[in-house]
Structure 1
Amino acid sequence: MSKIFLGYTSLSGRNEIVAKHLASYLEEKGVEVVLDQLVDADAFDLPEYDAVIIETYTYNDGEIPEEAQDFFEDLQDVDLAKTKFAVLGVSSKSHIHFGRAVDYFTMEMNSSNGDQVADSVKINEYPDDDDYARVHQLADYVLKSLN
């Protein structure tokens, strides 16, 4: 059975809702999911997983959330060794830096030798059916990469 790490940050609760939805979707497809907040996670454990999905909000002026800062900084010293990954996040288009933390995580994981298997997904405010369809598509690409 494949094992996927799904790490998230959530301030308003929207990213947590999407993360739990995504974890359930993946589990229904027969994979083991380790769901954890990034503040409690260790980036050095990521190469142990078959795939990694990171979900984050963007803080203030396009910044990585404070509770994910240590995890993000540790990624600079982790060799993901071609670990398959995808990144998504809920943000707000009313901010000039909509979803920038998603971009930062995507770039850092690529720089850490990861293998991006799905386009990053940015969700505006509250996820709707179209957003969940894009989340499912991201998950399906991750699952397909494991076969």
Structure 2
Amino acid sequence: MAKILIAFASMSGNTEDIAELIKTTIESPSHEIEMKEIENISSQKLLDYDGIILGAYTWGDGELPYEVEDFYDDIEGLDLAGKKVAVFGSGDHAYPKFCAAVDILEERLIACGANLVEEGLKVELAPETEEDIERCVTFAFNFSNKLEETL
């Protein structure tokens, strides 16, 4: 059984909506899924999971939200070798750096030795259009399939 963490930060509910869609898509008897807010999880707990999916909205001009900053700092130097990871986020094209939090988190996870198995998912605000929902579902399925290939 694969143990999967979906950890996210959401202010307006958009990123949480994406997290819920991902969770619903990959729920199966072969997955034990925990969904938590990033600010409520210790970086050391990441070591307990086979698969890690992180989500965050982008704040201001392309920064991590404040509730993700401590977690981001804490995972620096953590040995995540062998962990399958993916990152998603919500953003707004009105700002100069669309969904930059996704890129920032991906870079940190890769620097920690994690195996990024799916390209970051970036969604404009909430996943409301058929296209956005399909992209979220595809992201989740691809992550799940790549995780199961190694178990």
TM-score by length of 1: 0.94
Where structure 2 has 5 or more consecutive residues not aligned to the other structure, the ranges are none
Segments of 4+ moved more than 3 angstroms: none
| 1:133 paired to 2:134 | yes
Task: Report sequence identity in percent.
Answer: 28
Look up the SS of the partner of 2:7 in the other structure.
strand
Contact 2:102 2:122 in 1 (8 A): yes
Displacement of 1:77 in angstroms is 2.4
Q: For 1:12-54, what per-residue CA distance to the aligned partner results, in whole angstroms no more than 9, with x for missing partners?
A: 1111111112112111474111100000011211122110000
Distance of 2:106 and 2:35 partners within structure 1: 19
Name the counterpart of 1:110.
Answer: 110
Indicate the RMSD between aligned Cα atoms, in angstroms.
Answer: 1.3
More deviation, 122-131/98-107? 122-131
Q: Which residue of 2 aligns with 1:15?
A: 15
Q: Which amino acid aligns with 2:100?
A: R
The match for 1:54 is 54
For the residues of structure 2 that align with 1:69 and 1:85, how far apart are their CA atoms? 19
Give CA deviations for 1:80-139 in whole Å, capped at 9, x if unaligned: 022000001010011001100110000100000000000111001231221121111111
The separation in 2 between residues aligned to 1:74 and 1:28, in whole angstroms, is 31
TM score, norm. by length of structure 2: 0.92
Using the alignment, how far apart are the partners of 1:110 and 1:136 within structure 2? 23
Q: Paired residues, what number?
A: 147
8 Å contact kept, 1:47–1:81? no
2:75 match: 75
- In structure 2, the partner of 1:37 is 37
**Within 2, Cα distance between the matches of 1:136 and 1:28?**
14
